[in-house]
Chain A
Amino acid sequence: MNNELILLPSVTYAMKAKGILDQYKIRSYIQRTPKNTGIRSCGYCLFVPGKADEAENLLRTKGIRVLGRAKREEL
């Protein structure tokens, strides 16, 4: 699976985005934006296993500012 992380500007947006996805029964997990994303600044992202494309479209439709997508690195 690629680019399962949806990058967001702040923890408030991450919470709001997760709340929206919860309403649509799409599982997601908030985490800090990892360093491999090309984004140097601090931030938060949503890990959306298997449904990141759908989730991103949904969030954009709902007016959530999405900064981009990134691949999740296994720990």
Chain B
Amino acid sequence: MIYLDNSATTYPKPPGVIRAVHNAVQNYGFNPGRGGYRSSLRTAQKVYEARQTVRAFFHAPLVESVIFTASCTQALNTVVKGVLKKGDHVIMSSFDHNAVARPIHRLQQEGIISYSIAQVDINDDNATIENFRQLINERTKLIVCTHASNVFGFRLPAERLCALAHSYGLLFCLDAAQSAGLLPIDMQRDRYDFVCCAGHKYLYGPMGIGVLLIGNDNDVLPLVDGGTGSVSDELIMPSFYPDRLEAGTVNISGIIGLQAGIEFVNRQGIDRLYERENRLIRSLSKELSAFRHIRVHGQSSLTEHQAPVLSFGVEGTDSETVVKYLSSHADIAVRGGLHCAPLAHRSMNTIDTGTVRVSPSAFTTQNDMRSLVNSLRKFR
């Protein structure tokens, strides 16, 4: 199989990650933060070391502000539902994923909050910033946006949007599901209030692990209440992180695997990974653009505005048909449809057909891309 659906989840995982997960299941199958026996403490030590690795990777202010979640979606839900209160207003971008849009929309439907969607101008950051600015009102509390579109790869001016939010006294949450491991994220330099990441995408960890990073002193209400192994005589959740937002037993193999994934990214070099994958996408974009029956969607004219993801359509055919053809004729795995991001498709007028998305990883080769191009050449 030629796997080009890495924006959904990276595959294969680095050998070090597979070994780490195996090691975790075999040797660290004990509940951390609960027991006082040696194996529990050894496991807690491993979890703590993973927290330190995550903290260092994102330059998070404190190790205890690294919260392990089940997914990026859970991290985003924690921020949206734990920060926003009755009457608050929130702004998201026109390229946000349903992991952001759905919880926000639901709170709006329940009459708790209101929201606005800021249009992103893919070739003009100043226009994007201005679009966000014009939507701020006296009830706005939070700006949340994706770092890079999971469909088209457009990179949003996150650092500037965070500065904009702070200049109005607002909080800023970055959805780094598609960017963590590909684009540098520095919480201390850019003063992000919240960063939400998927562990299983470009951080190369296993599925079932995500991260919420908190960069401020604001209280975030827990999404899930339960046992934490601390202040157990009280019926309310602890006031301190990470316990406040980590009810229940944490995912040890996920956490240890994620640490190994981040170590893989560190060894490869985040800039090198980005440049290599972007080169593959640029080259693919050039080749596909030469086909009369294929339309490459919205590659930004500015390289620095682009994460290594490409969406295209085939004239007269819906995206799922193309995906099925590539799978059955060439064993190529790409993703079709709306990619859980209808806002992005509405922005790009692809809501009716969807797009075929190609997303490489550290393990994708030029030959993989060549096979894709050759298969698409034959497709009519």
B63 CB, nearest partner CB in chain A, Å: 6
Provide the A18-60 mask, 1 if CB < 8 A to any CB of B, else 0: 0000000000001110000000111110000000000000000
Q: Chain A residues near B228 (CB, 8 Å)?
A: 10
Tell me the interface secondary structure of chain A in the complex.
Answer: mixed
**Residue pair B64, A11 in contact (C-beta under 8 Å):** no
Q: Take A11-B32, A32-B36 as given contacts and tell me if A16 and B48 are in contact as well, using a CB distance cutoff of 8 Å.
A: yes
Total interface residues on A, CB under 8 Å, equals 16
| 15 further contact pairs, Cβ within 8 A, besides A11-B32, A42-B229, A65-B240 | A9-B230, A10-B230, A10-B243, A11-B229, A12-B48, A12-B64, A12-B242, A15-B44, A16-B48, A16-B63, A30-B41, A40-B233, A41-B230, A41-B232, A42-B231
Could you tell me if B232 and A11 are in contact, using CB atoms closer than 8 angstroms? no
Pair A10/B48 contact, Cβ less than 8 Å: no
CA distance A43 to B44 in the complex (A): 13
- CB A62 to nearest CB in B, in angstroms, measures 11
Q: Which residues of A contact B233 (CB under 8 A)?
A: 40-41
Least Cβ–Cβ distance between B141 and chain A, in angstroms:
27
Interface centre among A10, A31, A43, A65 (most CB of B within 10 A): A10
- Please name the residue on chain B nearest to A15 by beta carbon: B48
B interface with A by C-beta (< 8 Å): 32-36, 41, 44-45, 48, 51, 63-64, 228-234, 238, 240, 242-243
Q: How far is the CA of A40 from the CA of B242 in the complex (A)?
A: 21
Q: Which residues on the B side are within 8 Å of A9 (C-beta)? A: 230-231, 238, 240, 243
Query: DSSP class of B's interface residues: helix, strand, loop or mixed?
Result: loop
> Which of B36, B51, B238 makes the CB contact (< 8 A) with A10?
B238
Residues of B within 8 A of A30 (CB): 41, 44
Hey, which chain B residues are within 8 Å of A43, CB to CB? 230-231
When C-beta atoms are compared, the residue in chain B nearest to A10 turns out to be B230
Instruction: Give the distance in Å from the alpha carbon of A61 to the alpha carbon of B51 in the complex.
Output: 22
- Cα A65 to Cα B243 in complex, Å, equals 14
Q: Which of A12, A15, A31, A32 contacts B243 (CB 8 A)?
A: A12
Assembly CA distance A12 to B52 (angstroms): 11
With a 10 A CB-CB cut-off, give which of B32, B45, B229 has the most chain A CB atoms: B229
User: How many Å from the CB of B43 to the closest CB on chain A?
Assistant: 10
Judge whether A11 and B238 touch: CB under 8 Å: no
- CB contacts (< 8 Å) of A44 on chain B: these are 33, 36
Taken together as a complex, chains A and B put the C-alpha atoms of A31 and B35 apart, in Å, by 9
- Are B63 and A10 in contact (CB-based, < 8 A)? no
Question: B238 to chain A: which residues have CB within 8 Å?
Answer: 9-10
Alpha-carbon separation in the docked complex, A11 to B240 (Å) = 12
Q: A32-B36, A65-B240 are in contact. Are A12 and B232 (CB under 8 A)?
A: no
Q: Is the CB of A42 within 8 A of B64?
A: no
> In whole angstroms, what is the CA distance A9 to B232 when docked?
11
